[in-house]
Amino acid sequence: MAGNKTFTMIKPDAVENGHIGAILEKINAAGFRIVAMTMTQLSVKQAGKFYEVHRERPFFGELVNYMTSGPIVAAILEKDNAVEDFRTLIGATDPQKAEEGTIRKLYATSIAANAIHGSDSDENAVIEGNFFFSQRDRF
Ligand code: GDP
């Protein structure tokens, strides 16, 4: 059975471009409840750990540079079928391939600076949520 939580980050390009409010509005309108939220800036060490699975990819250095370039907003979201429904809401990794109306289509700059992260499995949603939040941060 699909879980009811996912994890998201509004990435540095979207924060820098003033899209936090519009993105949260779309998240709420799609029926997600915000369970925990924080605004912070990742260190190189934290970004490297968060994207550990991509360490061998050619774009890893660029990804870490970008993710540490400015503040991000991290949040845990709750909804039935959260992971899959949120991936649909954000759209494809490459904004040029993302469906009309998706968050990446509307607000992303490029495949690297693609506005928002969404967990790709229930297991990763738990790992990523725990990376940023303790139990007492959750409501
Ligand atoms: P996601 O699950 O849709 O976020 O995509 P992936 O897990 O494949 O990639 C993680 C993140 O790495 C993406 O969201 C992008 O920020 C970045 N990324 C993916 N592909 C590329 C690429 O070809 N070049 C660069 N610079 N960054 C990329």
CATH of the domain at 54: 3.30.70.141
Tens digit of each residue's pLDDT (9 = 90 or more) over 97-135: 999 999 999 999 999 999 999 999 999 999 999 999 999
**Structural domain contains residue 139:** no
Give the range of the structural domain holding residue 115, as residue numbers without chain letter: 5-132
**Structural domain contains residue 40:** yes
Tens digit of each residue's pLDDT (9 = 90 or more) over 54-86: 999 999 999 999 999 999 999 999 999 999 999
Rounded to whole angstroms, what are the CA distances from 113 to 5, 40, 138, 139?
24, 17, 28, 30
Ligand 1 atom with the shortest distance to the CA of 53 = 7
* Total number of domains constituting the chain: 1
pLDDT-derived band at 1 (thresholds 50, 70, 90) equals: confident
Ligand 1 atom with the shortest distance to the CA of 92 = 3
**Structural domain contains residue 17:** yes
Q: Is the CB of 114 under 6 A from ligand 1?
A: yes
**Structural domain contains residue 120:** yes
Q: Is the CB of 104 under 6 A from ligand 1?
A: no
**Structural domain contains residue 44:** yes
**Structural domain contains residue 138:** no
- Which residue among 117, 118, 128, 132 is the active-site one? 117
